[in-house]
């Protein structure tokens, strides 16, 4: 089946086969609506030196005239973190966002000195008409306030995205609009996009109220200084901790830029309502009795540069662990971070701190994402004709489709796709057809152009195999070596312990240079010849493939030779 001009297309630039980088597009005729613009954090050794991964926005850039707006479901980085990069690549006229997310986006744009975009705030009663597409919203419960699902009514049918959600009957903030979702489902949902993060977890996610009670117990039973580390992005958790500090008469010292930012924005938005004098700077806080101090910081995942890691290492500018300190990790380990967290926990324990981590005995963290029970409830409320699991790795998407089958959605009506795959909605029927360009763009610092795959490959290669530099000095006038080649090894072998290998490499480099200089070569030929001779030789000797970097110095020895020097050298 071929795409028609009257069809509605849906495709993901990010968010499939991964957790993060959420970016979904709905396209109808001359209209493109982008849903979320997130980043993914490069948290493993496969991407050395990379800060963020963002979607490839090439397709949107080529169709910039069709892009009519960006709709934000909530204010987490995997949904708004790519906005500043997106705006450097293409022209974005308007962003539709809930109140808290809008505040966070404005802060980001101000920091980057970007103000050439209109931000329209919405709530659960808002409605918009974008050309032929109607847009409305329903409130969700998540780990951050102002989280929404979005309904897109197109000429070919209704598309609903749940956003990130869970069903919590005793939430800290607003409760999900279950009745409104049921009404949306009764009207008819042709295609449902739904959060798959916890699709492998059975049952229902623990209520945030249970966490709140555990936090109160910790404050009640702690008689010395209290240090709590959590995700800055978990605004409801931060809110609970700060309000508990006020309730139990502790002053709050905040460490971590992201934590400071989210508290400031949440207070400005009226989400965190506490006295101004509750927060004190470190100099004041250190003069208070220990039982009156709460340190709220980042670093719950063992990040090396985060505040908690520096406290554990004894390198923090203001704070050192004192025996009888209580340190609380109000989070669960992200896969891959367990070793880093255990390392920090051991250091804290050795310094005399009591460490509390999340367990069946200490309910100090709960997820903001729906487990299988809640996913089934969402599917039952929406009763979609077709189902599209998003926001998850492949196994999570597959598990979510299996859950959908259990509540009556045939497997052939669920689509497990990759970033760039296109779904076509035509007169209430859905089928997969075609692709748009969608790759990972690696961002080092603020370089919006990203880094090529070759650069990443070279970094990994360098980390695993090191490099060998070959320094040769030649006289371009006479095509003669001025001295023996010099060999420098970095990360490949220790030169002092492998002097025989270095000497053999030097002899081979000299032989290669003498042979190549007989042919009147240019610099490119010289470099390729050295790589082609030295590389295989070193692999034969060591079974390692270092990066070979020839460095050529051209120097003439007198005026007459300078005049006769060959230009191609």
| DSSP helix/strand/coil, 474 | strand
Q: Which residues of the chain have pLDDT under 50?
A: 559, 561-562, 566-569
Name, in order, each residue with C-beta under 8 angstroms of 223's C-beta and a sequence gap of 6 or more.
291
CATH of span 453-564: 3.10.20.580
Radius of gyration of the chain (CA): 29
Which pair of tokens denotes residue 438? 């969608």
Residue identified by tokens 């597409």 is 133
**Does the domain at residues 208-356 carry the CATH identifier 3.40.50.10710?**
yes
Which pair of tokens denotes residue 317? 């500018």
Q: Which H or E run includes 68? A: strand 67-71
| DSSP helix/strand/coil, 203 | coil
Which pair of tokens denotes residue 219? 């404050």
Which DSSP category does 153 fall into? E
CB 185 within 8 A of CB 381: yes
CATH code 3.10.20.580 region(s) in the chain: 453-564
Which pair of tokens denotes residue 185? 């489902």
CB 197 within 8 A of CB 396: yes
Global confidence as pTM: 0.81
What does the alpha-carbon distance between residue 135 and residue 70 come to, in Å, rounded to a whole number? 12
CB 485 within 8 A of CB 504: no
What's the length of the chain?
569
Residue identified by tokens 């509540």 is 407
Name, in order, each residue with C-beta under 8 angstroms of 113's C-beta and a sequence gap of 6 or more.
none
Q: Please state the φ and ψ torsions of residue 313, each to the nearest 5 degrees.
A: -80, -10
In this structure, the number of other CB atoms found within 10 A of the CB of residue 7 comes to 22
What does the alpha-carbon distance between residue 189 and residue 199 come to, in Å, rounded to a whole number? 21
Residue identified by tokens 């071929």 is 2
CB 151 within 8 A of CB 190: no
What does the alpha-carbon distance between residue 538 and residue 307 come to, in Å, rounded to a whole number? 44
CATH assignment of 8-203+367-443, given 3.60.15.10, 3.90.380.10, 3.40.50.620, 3.40.50.720?
3.60.15.10
CATH code 3.60.15.10 region(s) in the chain: 8-203+367-443
CATH code 3.40.50.10710 region(s) in the chain: 208-356
Q: What is the structure's pLDDT at 422?
A: 96
Q: Please state the φ and ψ torsions of residue 314, each to the nearest 5 degrees.
A: 75, 15
Q: What is the structure's pLDDT at 460?
A: 73
CB 413 within 8 A of CB 428: no
Name, in order, each residue with C-beta under 8 angstroms of 472's C-beta and a sequence gap of 6 or more.
481, 485, 486, 509, 513, 526, 530, 550, 551, 552, 553
């Amino acid at each position: 089946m071929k795409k028609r001009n009257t069809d509605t297309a849906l495709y993901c630039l990010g968010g499939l086969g991964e957790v993060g980088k959420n970016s979904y597009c709905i396209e109808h005729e001359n209209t493109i609506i982008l849903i979320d613009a997130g980043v993914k954090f490069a948290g493993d050794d496969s991407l050395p030196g990379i800060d963020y991964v963002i979607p490839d926005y090439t397709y949107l850039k080529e169709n910039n005239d069709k892009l009519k707006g960006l709709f934000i479901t909530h204010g987490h980085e995997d949904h708004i973190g790519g906005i500043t990069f997106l705006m450097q690549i293409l022209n974005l006229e308007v962003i539709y966002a809930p109140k808290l997310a809008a505040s966070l986006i404005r802060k980001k744009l101000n920091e980057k000195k970007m103000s050439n975009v209109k931000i329209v705030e919405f709530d659960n009663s808002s409605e918009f008409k974008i050309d032929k597409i109607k847009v409305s919203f329903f409130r969700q419960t998540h780990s951050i306030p102002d989280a929404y699902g979005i309904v897109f009514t197109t000429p070919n049918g209704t598309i609903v995205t749940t956003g990130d959600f869970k069903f919590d009957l005793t939430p800290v903030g607003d409760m999900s609009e279950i009745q409104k979702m049921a009404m949306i489902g009764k009207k008819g949902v042709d295609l449902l996009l739904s959060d798959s993060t916890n699709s492998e977890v059975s049952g229902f996610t623990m209520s945030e109220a249970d966490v709140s009670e555990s936090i109160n117990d910790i404050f009640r039973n702690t008689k010395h200084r209290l240090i709590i580390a959590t995700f800055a992005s978990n605004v409801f958790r931060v809110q609970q901790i700060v309000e508990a500090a006020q309730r139990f008469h502790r002053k709050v010292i905040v460490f971590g830029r992201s934590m400071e930012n989210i508290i400031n924005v949440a207070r400005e938005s009226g989400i965190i309502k506490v006295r101004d004098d509750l927060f004190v700077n470190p100099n004041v806080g250190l003069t208070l009795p220990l039982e009156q101090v709460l340190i709220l910081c980042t670093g719950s995942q063992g990040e090396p540069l985060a505040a908690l890691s520096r406290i554990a290492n004894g390198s923090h500018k203001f704070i050192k662990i004192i025996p009888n300190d209580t340190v609380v990790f109000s989070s669960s380990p992200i896969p891959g971070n367990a070793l880093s967290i255990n390392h920090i926990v051991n250091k804290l324990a050795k310094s005399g701190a009591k460490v509390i981590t999340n367990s069946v005995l200490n309910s100090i963290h709960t997820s903001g994402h729906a487990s299988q029970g809640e996913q089934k409830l969402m599917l039952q409320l929406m009763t979609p004709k077709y189902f599209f699991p998003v926001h998850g790795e492949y196994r999570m998407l597959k598990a979510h489709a299996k859950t959908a089958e259990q509540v009556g959605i045939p497997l052939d009506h669920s689509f497990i796709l990759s970033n760039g795959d296109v779904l076509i909605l035509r007169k209430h029927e859905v089928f997969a057809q075609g692709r748009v360009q969608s790759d990972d763009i690696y961002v080092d610092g603020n370089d919006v152009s990203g880094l090529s795959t070759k650069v990443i490959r070279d970094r990994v290669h360098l980390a695993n195999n090191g490099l060998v530099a070959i320094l040769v000095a030649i006289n371009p006038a006479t095509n003669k070596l001025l001295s023996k080649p010099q060999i420098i090894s970095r990360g490949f072998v220790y030169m002092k312990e492998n002097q025989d290998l270095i000497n053999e490499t030097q002899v081979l480099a000299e032989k290669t240079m003498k042979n190549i200089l007989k042919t009147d070569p240019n610099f490119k030929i010289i470099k390729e010849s050295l790589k082609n001779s030295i590389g295989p030789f070193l692999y034969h000797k060591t079974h390692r493939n270092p990066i070979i970097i020839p460095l050529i110095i051209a120097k003439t020895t007198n005026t007459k030779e300078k005049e006769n020097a060959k230009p191609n050298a």
